[in-house]
Amino acid sequence: MVFPFKGLSDYEIKFKPEHEMFRQMVKEFAEKEIAPRVTEIEEHNEVPQDLVNKMLAQGFQGVSIPQEYGGQGGDQVMLAIFSEEVAKVSPAIVTLMGANGLFVFPVLLFGSEEQKKKYLPPIARGEKRSAHATSEAVAGSDVAGIQTRAEKVGDGWKINGRKAFISGGDVADYFVVLARTSPITNRKERWKGLTFFIVEKETEGFHVARHMEKMGLKGSHIVELQLDNVVVPDSNRLGPEGEGFKIAMETFDHGRIGVAAQALGMAQILFEKSLNYSMQRTTFDRPLISHQMIDTYLADMVMKLVSARQLVYWSATLADQGREEYKFAASLAKAYATEAAEWAAEKAISIYGGAGVIIETQIERFLRDVEITKVYEGANEIQRLVIIRQLLKLSLGVDVMSM
């Protein structure tokens, strides 16, 4: 039974030799350059600029940008590999680098050639940073509920509003900003009338309103952005007027694969650390791993880990193939991998006992970090709605939940 797909080949995952070469390179960099700085990052809630510069020099910010715009021309699988390997050391750095993808993807998919040539090469070279500004205090998963407005003024647009929970908004030079450009006419079509705009940091009336402190992902900051009569030319409109909701959904669908891979990296390192500790630690004159409850935890960890890895790279493979079904797989991967990593973090703390909640062992921070991955790019409750909706579309050919 292969429902809701047509055949076994739909579940196939293929890696290329360059994928393994890239994985080894990222792994080596993470262990050599990032791992020794983790305590410093956690204590100061800041990624040192010299480390950021090294990552930019490696081209990590341009992994998914095509070579004609100065990037590495990597695919979705390569992005997932980057997220997994770096998250094993620092999930926050995945978010720090990944925030750029939420700008790059919509520009690549829906931007004009002029926009691509202007904005993508500086990002690929590491000269500029970028971020995505959709969420608001009153509208997170409910994208259609945003209150930021854009009014047509001459040959441009005047934007007013406030954005919240914006990852990397404090360091970004370029932003994609979602605003309402026409009023809601009826509740069923409230998603209509939204439009994206590219806004540059130095634009008059645009500024960081405040930094928002969070429980985990230390070193990756979130901020509120204020837009007061921000004027941009129509050439900065991204995609067709009124199509912003569709652009946001397509962007988040891709982004969920990266979040799932980020959680996968956490689950992987938690398993490795737990296995190693359980073989070294002795209780009641026996290795910890010889106790039945502990080996059950470890067995369940590895089952969830392998399952999560299959979902992550399957969804990435479907996305690289241009298959519409990747959206279904991405939501499966995001919800499952983040919850698997949360479970692994809880059980790792149980295996470590008192040492598991001591900061210096670097176990408890993964629990703090993974809780955030369950929320952004669409909370897991939303993912379950997406999963069943996509399932019905795949099996029946219609979106019955929108009828």
Final residue before a domain boundary, out of 72, 94, 124 = 124
Q: What is the largest CA-CA distance in the chain?
A: 80
Question: How confident is the model at residue 174, as a pLDDT?
Answer: 98
Same domain, 145 and 232: yes
CATH number of domain containing 61: 1.10.540.10
Mean pLDDT of 70-96: 96
Instruction: Tell me the C-alpha distance between 399 and 103, whole Å.
Output: 28
Does some domain include residue 281?
yes
Same domain, 250 and 398: yes
Q: Are 104 and 72 in contact (CB under 8 A)?
A: no
Same domain, 276 and 391: yes
Q: Which of 4, 131, 1, 96 is nearest to 390 (CA)?
A: 4
Same domain, 302 and 336: yes
CATH number of domain containing 292: 1.20.140.10
Tell me: the pLDDT tens digits for 260-281?
Answer: 999 999 999 999 999 999 999 8
Same domain, 261 and 205: no
Mean pLDDT of 352-362: 93
Phi-psi region of 33 (alpha: psi -120 to 50; beta: other; left: phi over 0): alpha
Name the burial class of residue 276, with classes exposed (0-12), middle (13-18) and buried (19+) by CB atoms within 10 angstroms of its CB: exposed
43 counts as catalytic: no
Question: How confident is the model at residue 290, as a pLDDT?
Answer: 86
Same domain, 305 and 183: no
Same domain, 15 and 103: yes
Does some domain include residue 205?
yes
Same domain, 183 and 100: no
Does some domain include residue 300?
yes
Band (287; pLDDT cuts 50, 70, 90): confident
Instruction: Tell me the C-alpha distance between 230 and 201, whole Å.
Output: 11
Does some domain include residue 24?
yes
Q: Which residues contact 35 (CB under 8 A, 6 or more apart)?
A: 89, 90
Averaging pLDDT over each range in 66-70, 140-144, 286-290, which range is the top one? Answer: 66-70
Same domain, 251 and 379: yes
Over 60: is that where the pLDDT of 198 sits? yes
Same domain, 236 and 175: yes
Q: Which of 200, 364, 377, 381 is catalytic?
A: 377
CATH number of domain containing 192: 2.40.110.10
Does some domain include residue 82?
yes
Same domain, 331 and 396: yes
Instruction: Tell me the C-alpha distance between 58 and 47, whole Å.
Output: 16
Does some domain include residue 219?
yes
Same domain, 264 and 143: no
Range of the domain at 42: 8-124
Does some domain include residue 3?
no
Over 70: is that where the pLDDT of 402 sits? no
Q: What is the DSSP string of 327-396?
A: HHHHHHHHHHHHHHHHHHHHHHHHHHGGGGGSGGGT-HHHHHHHHHHTTTTS-HHHHHHHHHHHHHHHHH
Final residue before a domain boundary, out of 65, 100, 124 = 124
Which residues are paired to 180 by β-bridges?
A: 149, 194
Band (400; pLDDT cuts 50, 70, 90): low
Question: How confident is the model at residue 392, as a pLDDT?
Answer: 86
Over 70: is that where the pLDDT of 403 sits? no
Domain count, the chain: 3
Does some domain include residue 2?
no
Tell me: the pLDDT tens digits for 227-257?
Answer: 999 999 999 999 999 999 999 999 999 999 9
Final residue before a domain boundary, out of 62, 91, 124 = 124
At 111, list the tokens: 């931007």
